[in-house]
Structures are given as structure tokens and as C-alpha cells.
């Protein structure tokens, strides 16, 4: 656990299989403890800047509540206040690091996160970028462990766009020893660098990672079926083209029927019902999307305590 103290968390590749196991143990323990009356405020007297450059519901609320419950002070900043009047990233970070103990940033370009992390002397956490979504995948792994009792050897399928979720799920599955098949159309693959990192980790953990073009073969025998929106923020002009392109990868009852008995369905939300998933699936007993959303809070509490020591 000492390994993560003071670390930036930008892609999830900062974890090792051992730190992931420690993280999951801590998140589960803190989640159980949250149901008791005893206050747990290990970050009392600390402060965390939460910078939201993309609109947000789950990320904004879960991080603000997580910071508050841990005893720290959340400072919420939008685009106009965090990077205003043309001030450079370096100047902004060099001032901000003198006020707060950690920066949580939700933004568009992964390169901006990397620039912020390079300039700041305090930990920077990626709350979402176009490249990676580590906080969501940590919550997903916590949810899968709760529902399936383990991660190693679990078979998961991700369907749709090879986006930030696919990139990070590959790394997370590799760290956990899970088997992950990404089903996506040609030309929509995950980032090559994410695949390379994940496969290097998988060689040590025994995880099996695949990218296939057929959604039915991707889902066959899967214990977990995961999808995400086909049109992310900033891609609205491509919506109609994307709906047509990804239509074969829609998760409906027929596709879910090819998964293993007792398979669960996951989506990081917001869901575009009727596009990447149908009502009959997301509202079915197999769906754990609201448990998954709740676990953003518990995962981020554990992550903050590990990064801030």
C-alpha cells in the first residue's frame, strides 16, 4: 500500500496486482465500516481540489461526498475558475498545490492530465479523460468481486467502442487476473499503448485478453457483460454514424442469453437506452448498474486514503 502514497493515478497502470488486492481489501473494509456509527475521518485537515472540465453527475457527487466523509475539504472548480484568463497550466498548478493536498481532474485530453501531473508536486487523480477512466474501473472491479466472489478467472466481455473504458478495463482485468474479451468493430479498437501495457501485465497474472469483431463470440460464456455509451462528450456530431456503426453490439436480451448463467450486466452510466443497451437488460435482475454507481463512492474513498497516506 505504501507504493501508492503520493502517486498520480492517470491510467490504472500505476497499480500492481498486489496494490490492487490491497485496494480492494481496503475499499471493502471501508464500505462495511461506513454502515456503523463510528466516524472515519483519516483525512481531517486536508483538502482536495476537484476540477470538473466535463459535465458530471456521478464523478462530481461521489468525489465531493468521499472527500467530505473522509474529513477533508473538497474545493470544486470548473473551467472558468481552474484555468481562467489564459493562465498557464504550470502557473495554475504551482499556486493550487500550495492550497490543497490532491488534485482530482475530469477533462477531455489525456495529455492535459499528464501536463497537470508533470507540473504539480501533489498527487493528481484522473477522474475521467478521453483516454482512461481509472476510478470507474476500480469501482467496477469492486462490484464484480462483490457479485462473483472473486476476480481471478472471471470471464468478462466489453462491447462497443474501444474508448476510455475499454482501455482501462484491459489494464484492470490484467491486474486482477480476469479474462476480458473486447468486442468492437474494426477501426474502433482500444488504444495500442493500453493493449500493450495490459498484455505485459497479463503475462505475469495469467489473464487472457482478446479483441474480437463478433459480439456473440465476445459474450459467449461471459460472467460479466459490460458496455458504455457509443457517443462520448465531444463526439455529438458523430452520433448518427456511431449508432449505425455500433448497432450490432447493442446489448439486448438475445445477446445476453449467450452469456453464462447468472451473468451480470454493467454500465458506467449515463446510458443511452435503446442504443448500447435495451430497457429489458438494464432494468433486469441481471443489471447491477446502481450498485456499480454506488461503488464509485467507496472506491474513491479507498483510493484517496491510499494516495494521501
The span from the CA of 129 to the CA of 106, in Å, is 6
Identified catalytic residue from 26, 58, 250, 296 = 296
Residue of 102, 135, 184, 268 marked active site: 268
268 is catalytic: yes
Describe the strand order of the beta sheet including 209-212 as a list of residue ranges: 209-212, 179-183, 155-159, 224-227, 264-267
Considering the candidates 8, 30, 58, 136, report the single residue annotated as catalytic. Answer: 136
DSSP assignment string, 25-43: HHHHHHHHHTTSSS---TT
- Using alpha carbons, select from 253, 173, 183 the residue that is nearest to residue 217: 183
Distance (Å, rounded) from C-alpha 187 to C-alpha 185? 6
**Catalytic-residue membership of 119:** no
Residues 6+ apart with CB under 8 A from 6: 123, 307, 309
213 is catalytic: no
Active site residue 30: no
Q: What's 104-164 look like in SS3?
A: EEECCCHHHHHHHHHHCCCCEEEEECCCCCHHHHHHHHHHHHHHHCCCCCCEEEEECCCCH
Among 60, 133, 155, 298, the active-site one is: 133
Bridge partner list, 210: 181
Q: Which of 228, 242, 267, 298 is catalytic?
A: 228
Q: How many residues does the chain have?
A: 309
Annotation marks residue 228 as catalytic: yes
Q: Using the 8-state DSSP alphabet, how is residue 260 labeled?
A: P
Q: Do residues 77 and 47 lie in contact, with contact meaning Cβ atoms separated by under 8 Å?
A: no
Query: Which strands sit side by side in the sheet containing 124-128, from one edge to the other?
Result: 73-78, 47-52, 102-106, 124-128
Residue 241 CA: distances (Å) to CA of 38, 161, 273: 52, 13, 17
Is-catalytic flag, 296?
A: yes
Catalytic residue among 26, 46, 60, 106: 106
As annotated, the active-site residues are 106, 133, 136, 228, 268, 296
Amino acid at each position: 500500500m505504501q507504493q501508492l502514497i503520493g502517486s498520480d493515478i492517470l491510467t490504472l497502470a500505476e497499480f500492481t496486482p498486489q496494490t490492487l488486492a490491497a485496494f480492494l481489501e481496503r475499499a471493502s473494509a471501508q464500505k462495511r465500516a461506513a454502515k456503523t456509527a463510528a466516524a472515519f475521518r483519516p483525512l481531517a485537515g486536508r483538502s482536495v481540489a476537484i476540477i470538473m472540465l466535463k459535465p458530471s453527475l456521478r464523478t462530481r457527487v461521489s468525489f465531493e461526498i468521499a472527500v467530505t466523509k473522509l474529513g477533508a475539504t473538497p474545493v470544486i472548480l470548473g473551467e472558468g475558475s481552474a484555468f481562467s484568463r489564459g493562465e498557464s497550466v504550470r502557473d495554475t498548478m504551482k499556486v493550487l498545490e500550495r492550497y490543497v493536498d490532491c488534485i482530482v481532474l475530469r477533462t477531455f485530453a489525456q495529455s492535459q492530465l499528464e501536463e497537470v501531473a508533470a507540473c504539480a508536486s501533489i498527487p493528481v487523480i484522473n477522474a475521467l479523460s478521453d483516454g482512461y477512466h481509472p476510478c470507474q474501473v476500480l469501482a467496477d472491479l469492486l462490484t464484480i468481486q462483490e457479485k462473483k466472489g472473486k476476480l481471478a478467472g472471471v470471464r468478462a466481455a466489453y462491447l462497443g467502442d474501444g474508448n476510455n473504458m475499454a482501455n482501462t478495463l484491459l489494464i484492470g482485468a490484467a491486474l486482477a487476473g480476469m479474462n476480458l474479451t473486447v468486442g468492437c468493430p474494426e477501426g474502433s479498437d482500444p488504444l495500442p499503448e493500453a493493449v500493450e501495457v495490459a498484455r505485459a501485465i497479463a503475462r505475469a497474472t495469467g489473464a487472457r485478453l482478446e479483441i474480437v469483431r463478433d459480439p456473440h463470440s465476445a459474450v459467449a460464456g461471459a460472467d460479466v457483460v459490460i458496455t458504455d455509451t457509443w457517443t462520448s462528450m465531444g463526439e455529438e456530431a458523430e452520433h448518427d454514424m456511431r449508432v449505425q456503426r455500433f448497432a450490432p453490439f447493442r446489448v439486448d436480451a438475445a445477446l445476453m442469453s449467450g452469456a453464462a448463467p447468472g451473468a451480470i450486466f454493467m454500465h458506467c452510466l449515463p446510458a443511452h437506452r435503446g442504443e448500447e443497451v435495451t430497457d429489458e437488460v438494464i432494468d433486469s435482475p441481471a443489471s447491477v448498474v446502481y450498485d456499480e454507481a454506488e461503488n464509485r463512492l467507496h472506491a474513491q474513498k479507498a483510493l484517496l486514503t491510499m494516495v494521501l497516506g
